[in-house]
Chains A and B, each alone.
Chain A
Amino acid sequence: MELRPLVLAILESRPLYGYEIVQRARKRANLKWEEGTLYPLLHRLERDGLLASEWRKAPNGKDRKYYSLTRKGKTVLAKDRAEWKEQVRAVSEILLGGRHAKPGRSAP
């Protein structure tokens, strides 16, 4: 599963640090992955200009690296969302027999 759009979407509301991102993903979508792989991804997204980061105090008083979406990150997230919607629409078209297919109706 592509993690980039999920991470960008999680960071859309406010800056978060790595552990918080993992917890949000778990809480909102019950997503579990090798947590450590998030960090190279965050660094790549920052390198590509989609995220910005800064070290600051977390509520527990410890320094944590907070990531926030840049303008470019927001643009990429919007594109990812549009692509995702298109994919869901295309798959629904096949599986449910059209966009307006009602639950329970089988495809011809």
Chain B
Amino acid sequence: MPNREEALRRIFEATGVSARLSDDQKRELLGHLEDAVEAKVGAGVPEMDAVGQAFTELGDLEKIAREYPKALPFVVAPDGSLHLWWGGAAEMGYFLLLFVAFVEMMILPMFSVVYAKTHVALPGLTVMCLSLAGLMRDNWPLVIVGLLALGAGVYRIRRMGPWRRAAELVLVLGGAVGCAAVLAATTLPLIGLLEGTWRR
């Protein structure tokens, strides 16, 4: 015999609407139904009647599913401010920053050897990224600790309240800008190298 929570979940799934809802939305609506049924049963309403009443009071599930805002990664509010609305934004930003750290510490130093041998002129961005790569390699324990601390921060980000959106935005933008920078820093001298070879 399933418990009340499980029974409500099964009824909810059977409506066919749940497939159009995110896990977060389903969990929230099921929580509401649980609370409503619990209150009614506590007030002496038979369990089956309480379930029926709770679903009726919740309203048309089709309509509710339609009214949820679309899950876009970025939304511009009526006042023109930018908001991030993306469940995994913080995690995505964190993985982008891990990628940046990996390229900086493992890939760029290999390329620096190639660039030194070919005497290709390095753009300012590449020089800057190579300096940063050297600094990160020299202080790798600090980098590891920093990344672990950032990971812990990302894990806690959902509890940050009003600062959560800002933190997500900083992580995603930081990761995206970092990725673009290291990729450009790596490929720009290669393009110069290939152009030189082609001209010759």
Determine if B75 and A47 form an interchain contact, defined as CB atoms under 8 angstroms apart.
Answer: yes
Give the interface size class of chain A. 20 to 34
Contacts known (A19-B35, A19-B36); A55 close to B158, Cβ less than 8 A: yes
Determine if A49 and B69 form an interchain contact, defined as CB atoms under 8 angstroms apart.
Answer: no
With a cutoff of 8 Å between Cβ atoms, the chain B residues found around residue A22 in the complex are: 32
- Alpha-carbon distance between A48 and B34 when the two chains are bound, in angstroms: 28
The B interface is mostly helix, strand or loop, or mixed, namely: helix
Determine if B161 and A54 form an interchain contact, defined as CB atoms under 8 angstroms apart.
Answer: yes
Would you call B31 an interface residue if the criterion is a C-beta within 8 Å of the partner chain's C-beta atoms? yes
Determine if B31 and A71 form an interchain contact, defined as CB atoms under 8 angstroms apart.
Answer: no
Contacts known (A19-B32, A47-B83, A48-B83); A39 close to B68, Cβ less than 8 A: yes
Residues of B in contact, count (CB < 8 Å): 33
Determine if B68 and A40 form an interchain contact, defined as CB atoms under 8 angstroms apart.
Answer: yes
Determine if B31 and A43 form an interchain contact, defined as CB atoms under 8 angstroms apart.
Answer: no
With a cutoff of 8 Å between Cβ atoms, the chain A residues found around residue B147 in the complex are: none
Binding site for A on B (CB under 8 A): 24-25, 27-29, 31-32, 34-36, 38, 57-61, 63-64, 67-69, 75, 77-78, 81, 83, 85, 158-159, 161-162, 164-165
Q: Known pairs A65-B28, A71-B162. 13 more at Cβ < 8 A?
A: A18-B32, A19-B35, A19-B36, A34-B63, A35-B58, A36-B29, A40-B68, A43-B25, A47-B75, A49-B83, A54-B159, A63-B27, A63-B31
Binding site for B on A (CB under 8 A): 17-19, 22, 34-37, 39-41, 43-44, 46-49, 52, 54-56, 60, 62-65, 68, 70-72
